[in-house]
């Protein structure tokens, strides 16, 4: 059975990609053939060999199976702006069917796929469709990354309610300490445990240097 998960965040810049890299490594260690998929990205860089997105490259590097860059990230925009706006300005339509086709190609090679969205739950792909519409179509299990900061309680509660209201399965949430030395962090967690129905999968501590992290010491369980 192929397991497919969609990573969403309570906002942009809450650590979706970093969290995804941890989950991919843990799933690989658990014996799965893992693959990361970033169907749509923005804020990329132009190289001699094409447009490359940093987040997509991290997913590619942390996948246990060999994937080409375009398999991981088929749709990429240079500017750092909402995808539906860039799609309109550049006359580059984001088709739901293309996202599904890319996912189908990856699932043919792996049995544990982690799909990273862009921004939050209702990030638009066009002026008529959001990422949530595609997630519902593909019947993906959602994992919420909560960036622990002022405002995260409201954002996390609203995100889970929106997911569950569309009868989409939420596999759990992960708390990411994105700010150092915040004495309210544990209180944010305790409050969310009272309001969010989905299980807490783990807490990611704050790191000054993510390149020197021992993944084994981060206690996150797979959904």
pLDDT digits over 72-93, tens only?
A: 999 999 888 899 999 999 888 9
pLDDT digits over 133-169, tens only?
A: 999 999 999 999 999 999 999 999 999 999 999 999 9
176 part of a folded domain: yes
What is the reported pLDDT for 120?
Answer: 92
What's the CATH code of the domain at 140? Answer: 3.40.50.300
Does residue 67 surpass a pLDDT of 70? yes
The predicted model scores a pTM of: 0.94
Domain that holds residue 149: 3-217
90 part of a folded domain: yes
Count Cβ atoms within 10 A of the Cβ of residue 164 and give its class: 0-12 exposed, 13-18 middle, 19 or more buried: middle
What is the reported pLDDT for 166?
Answer: 94
96 part of a folded domain: yes
223 part of a folded domain: no
pLDDT band for 210, please (50, 70, 90 cuts).
Answer: low
Number of folded domains that form the chain: 1
Whole-number Å distance between alpha carbons of 23 and 26: 5
DSSP assigned state of 22: H
100 part of a folded domain: yes
What is the reported pLDDT for 207?
Answer: 81
Instruction: Name, in order, each residue with C-beta under 8 angstroms of 220's C-beta and a sequence gap of 6 or more.
Output: 19, 22, 23, 26, 174, 201, 202, 203, 204
38 is known as an active-site residue? yes
Average confidence score pLDDT of the chain: 93
What is the reported pLDDT for 206?
Answer: 87
137 part of a folded domain: yes
Selected catalytic residue, list 3, 4, 16, 38? 38
97 part of a folded domain: yes
DSSP string, 77-107: -SSSS-HHHHHHHTT----HHHHHHHHHHHH
222 part of a folded domain: no
């Amino acid at each position: 059975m192929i397991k497919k998960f969609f990573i969403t965040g309570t906002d942009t810049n809450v650590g979706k990609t970093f969290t995804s890299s941890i989950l991919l490594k843990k799933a690989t260690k658990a014996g799965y053939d893992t693959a990361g998929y970033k169907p749509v990205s923005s804020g990329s860089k132009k190289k001699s060999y094409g447009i490359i997105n940093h987040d997509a490259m991290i997913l590619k590097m942390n996948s246990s199976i060999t994937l080409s860059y375009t398999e991981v990230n088929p749709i990429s925009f240079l500017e750092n702006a909402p995808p539906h706006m860039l799609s309109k300005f550049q006359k580059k339509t984001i088709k739901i069917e293309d996202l599904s086709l890319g996912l189908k190609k990856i699932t043919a090679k792996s049995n544990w796929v982690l799909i990273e969205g862009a921004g939050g739950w209702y990030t638009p792909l066009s002026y008529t469709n959001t990422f949530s519409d595609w997630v519902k179509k593909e019947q993906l299990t959602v994992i919420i990354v909560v960036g622990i900061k002022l405002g995260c309680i409201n954002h996390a509660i609203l995100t889970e309610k929106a997911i569950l209201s569309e009868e989409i399965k939420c596999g759990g949430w992960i708390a990411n300490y994105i700010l150092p030395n915040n004495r309210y962090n544990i209180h944010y967690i305790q409050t969310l445990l009272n309001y969010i129905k989905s299980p807490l999968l783990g807490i990611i501590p704050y790191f000054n240097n993510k390149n020197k992290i021992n993944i084994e010491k981060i206690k996150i369980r797979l959904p």
